[in-house]
């Protein structure tokens, strides 16, 4: 039994909550792993299930644990909270939060622009664009499928570069070409993962996806990138500052 004797007026559920939190943060309970049942933990800590449940509910509210009905309680994956009050990219935002992020390039080629891409980039349908499709990870967990389209007429040199090393700093590349990112216009909606997305993002078919479309503009108003972004609903959230 863990020694959680009540000292200094600290309730037992607070001590248990801290013990469980430490087990999560030090990796004793791994991300995505099912923790012991309430019955097992109650016996381990020598408390009632009601006291134990109070501790677990607090950690669920913190986002460290989550329940699956009829299955059990699991350690939550690292969560990416994007602040959409300012324009940042995935890598810039994640590293500010101290997260280890990486990506895998799935596709990189020149293609003719389809209608929606052409309209967003102020091109004619069929004009050449560069497609960069990547799978992005937090730690080792896939979190985002990112599909960017870039005007070939402005950034043709990109095709001659090592995209594996360049893809995390596309905004820097745009600026070196004379097109500094100034603003973006984006649309968000809730969707469900189809079979392909579920496979890439290690999700169940039908699981929630936060879908995003975004167009980036340079300082002179030139559209320089249009993207589709498919984010795991259980690992991605958005914060927006509102003023009145």
DSSP string of 124-136? -TT-EEEEEEEEE
Q: What is the pLDDT along the chain (244 residues), one digit of tens a residue?
A: 455 555 567 788 888 898 998 888 887 888 778 888 888 899 888 888 898 888 888 888 777 787 877 788 888 766 665 555 566 666 666 555 556 778 899 999 999 999 999 999 999 999 999 999 999 888 788 989 999 999 999 999 999 988 887 777 899 999 999 999 999 999 999 999 999 999 999 888 999 999 999 999 999 999 999 999 999 887 777 776 767 7
Tokens of 110: 């020149």
pLDDT value at residue 1:
47
Measured distance CA(73)–CA(24) in Å, rounded: 13
pLDDT value at residue 65:
82
Question: Cβ distance 132 to 148 under 8 Å?
Answer: yes
pLDDT value at residue 92:
62
Which residues on adjacent β-strands are paired with residue 238? 82
**Count of CB atoms situated within 10 Å of the CB of 193:** 21
Query: Which residues of the chain form CATH 3.40.1410.10?
Result: 80-239
Domain 12-75 annotated CATH 2.60.120.10: no
CA angle 40, 43, 45 (to 5 degrees): 110
Query: Which residues of the chain form CATH 1.10.10.10?
Result: 12-75
Measured distance CA(99)–CA(80) in Å, rounded: 8
Instruction: Please give the helix or strand (H or E) that residue 82 lies within, else none.
Output: strand 80-83
Which residues on adjacent β-strands are paired with residue 142? 137
DSSP state letter for 86: S
How would you class 74 by CB atoms within 10 Å of its CB: exposed for 0-12, middle for 13-18, buried for 19 or more? middle
Sequence-ordered list of residues with C-beta below 8 angstroms from that of 6, at least 6 positions apart, any chain: 12, 15
- pTM beyond 0.75, yes or no: no
Q: Long-range contacts: 181-184, Cβ < 8 Å, 24+?
A: 181/87, 181/216, 181/217, 181/218, 181/224, 182/217, 182/218, 182/219, 183/87, 183/216, 183/217, 184/87, 184/214, 184/215, 184/216, 184/217
pLDDT value at residue 216:
95
**CATH number of the domain at 80-239, please?**
3.40.1410.10
Instruction: Please give the helix or strand (H or E) that residue 225 lies within, else none.
Output: strand 223-232
Instruction: Please give the helix or strand (H or E) that residue 153 lies within, else none.
Output: helix 152-155
* Of residues 164, 168, 154, 139, the one with CA closest to residue 218: 154
């Amino acid at each position: 039994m863990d020694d959680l004797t009540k000292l200094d007026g600290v309730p037992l559920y607070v001590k248990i909550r801290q013990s469980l939190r430490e087990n999560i943060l030090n990796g004793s309970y791994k991300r995505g792993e099912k923790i012991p049942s309430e019955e097992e933990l109650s016996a381990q800590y020598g408390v009632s299930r009601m006291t134990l449940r109070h501790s677990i509910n607090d950690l669920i509210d913190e986002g460290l644990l989550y329940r699956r009905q009829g299955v059990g309680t699991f350690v939550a994956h690292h969560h990416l909270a994007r602040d959409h009050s300012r324009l940042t990219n995935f890598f810039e935002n994640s590293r500010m939060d101290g997260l280890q992020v990486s990506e895998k390039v799935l596709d990189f080629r020149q293609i003719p622009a389809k209608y929606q891409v052409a309209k967003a980039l102020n091109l004619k349908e069929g004009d050449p664009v560069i497609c960069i499709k990547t799978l992005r990870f937090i730690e080792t967990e896939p979190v985002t499928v990112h599909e960017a389209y870039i005007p070939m007429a402005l950034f043709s040199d990109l095709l001659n570069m090592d995209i594996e090393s360049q893809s995390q700093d596309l905004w820097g590349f745009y600026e070196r070409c004379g097109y500094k990112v100034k603003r973006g216009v984006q649309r968000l909606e809730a969707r469900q993962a189809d079979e392909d997305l579920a496979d890439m993002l290690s999700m169940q078919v039908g699981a929630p996806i936060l879908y995003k479309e975004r167009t980036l503009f340079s300082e002179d108003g030139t559209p320089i990138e249009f993207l589709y972004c498919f984010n795991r609903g259980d690992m991605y959230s958005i914060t927006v500052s509102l003023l009145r």
